[in-house]
Structure 1
Amino acid sequence: MINQQVIFFNSIKSALPDYQNLAQSIAEVLEISTNEAYKKIRGTSVLNLQQIVKLSDSFGIPFLYKPDQLPTVTFDYLSVDQEIPNMLLYLKDLLKNLKQIQQSKSKHITITTDDIPLFHFFKYPELTCFKLFFWSDSVMNTEVKFDPSLFDEEVISITKELNQIYLEIPCTEIWAKDTVHGTIEQIRYAYEAGYISKILAEQIIEQVRYCLTDMNMYAISSKKTIDPNHAFNWYNCDVLGSISYLVDYKDTMSCYNRFNTFNYLKTDDQSYCQQTKQWMQSLIGKSVSFSGQGEKHRNKFLYNAFAECDKLLMEMNNNLV
Structure 2
Amino acid sequence: MDNIFSNLGDTVTFTYTKLTDSEVNFEKYLTRLYGHTKMLNTFPNRKLFYVAEELPIFYSFFDKQLTEFKLFYWQRSVLNIPQRQSQKFEFGIIDPKLVDLAHNCYLEYKKVPSVEIWHDKTIFTVTKQLEFYLESGVFANKKDALILIQK
Q: TM-score range by the shorter chain?
A: 0.7 to 0.9
- Describe the shift of the 1:85–1:147 C-alpha distance in structure 2 as closer, same or farther (beyond 3 A): farther
Q: List structure 1 runs of 4+ shifted beyond 2 angstroms.
A: 1-7, 73-77, 82-87, 137-143
Structure 2 stretches lacking a partner, 5+ long: none
76-85 vs 142-151, greater mean Cα deviation: 76-85
Aligned CA RMSD, in angstroms, stands at 2.6
Bigger strand share: 1
Partner of 2:95: 152
Alignment of 1:6-155 (within 5 A): 6-7=7-8, 75-136=14-75, 137=77, 138-139=80-81, 142-155=85-98
Q: Deviations over 1:41-87 (max 9, x none)?
A: xxxxxxxxxxxxxxxxxxxxxxx7xxxxxxxx975321232344542
Partner of 1:200: 144
1:133, 1:139 within 8 Å by CA — same for their partners in 2? no
2:52, 2:118 within 8 Å by CA — same for their partners in 1? yes
Secondary structure in structure 1 of the residue aligned to 2:147 = helix
Partner amino acid, structure 1, of 2:28: L
Q: Deviations over 1:200-251 (max 9, x none)?
A: 11111111xxxxxxxxxxxxxxxxxxxxxxxxxxxxxxxxxxxxxxxxxxxx
Distance apart, 1:122 and its partner CA? 0.7
In the alignment, the residues of structure 2 paired with residue 185 and residue 200 of structure 1 have an alpha-carbon distance, to the nearest angstrom, of 15
In the alignment, the residues of structure 2 paired with residue 88 and residue 3 of structure 1 have an alpha-carbon distance, to the nearest angstrom, of 33
Secondary structure in structure 2 of the residue aligned to 1:150 = coil
Distance apart, 1:151 and its partner CA? 1.6
- Describe the shift of the 1:142–1:127 C-alpha distance in structure 2 as closer, same or farther (beyond 3 A): same
- 1:174 and 2:141 correspond: no
Partner of 1:248: none
- The structure whose RCO (Cα within 8 Å, separation 6+) is larger is 2
Q: Deviations over 1:249-275 (max 9, x none)?
A: xxxxxxxxxxxxxxxxxxxxxxxxxxx
TM-score (normalizing by structure 1): 0.41
TM-score (normalizing by structure 2): 0.82
1:113, 1:175 within 8 Å by CA — same for their partners in 2? yes
Alignment of 1:250-289 (within 5 A): none
1:109, 1:169 within 8 Å by CA — same for their partners in 2? yes
1:80, 1:89 within 8 Å by CA — same for their partners in 2? no
- Describe the shift of the 1:189–1:108 C-alpha distance in structure 2 as closer, same or farther (beyond 3 A): same
Distance apart, 1:93 and its partner CA? 0.9
Aligned-residue identity in percent: 23
Secondary structure in structure 1 of the residue aligned to 2:118 = strand
Rg: which structure is higher? 1
In the alignment, the residues of structure 2 paired with residue 167 and residue 76 of structure 1 have an alpha-carbon distance, to the nearest angstrom, of 23
- 1:5 and 2:6 correspond: yes
Structure 1 stretches lacking a partner, 5+ long: 12-63, 65-72, 208-321
Partner of 1:183: 126
- Describe the shift of the 1:129–1:86 C-alpha distance in structure 2 as closer, same or farther (beyond 3 A): farther
Q: Deviations over 1:154-185 (max 9, x none)?
A: 11221221111111110111111100122111
In the alignment, the residues of structure 2 paired with residue 165 and residue 130 of structure 1 have an alpha-carbon distance, to the nearest angstrom, of 20
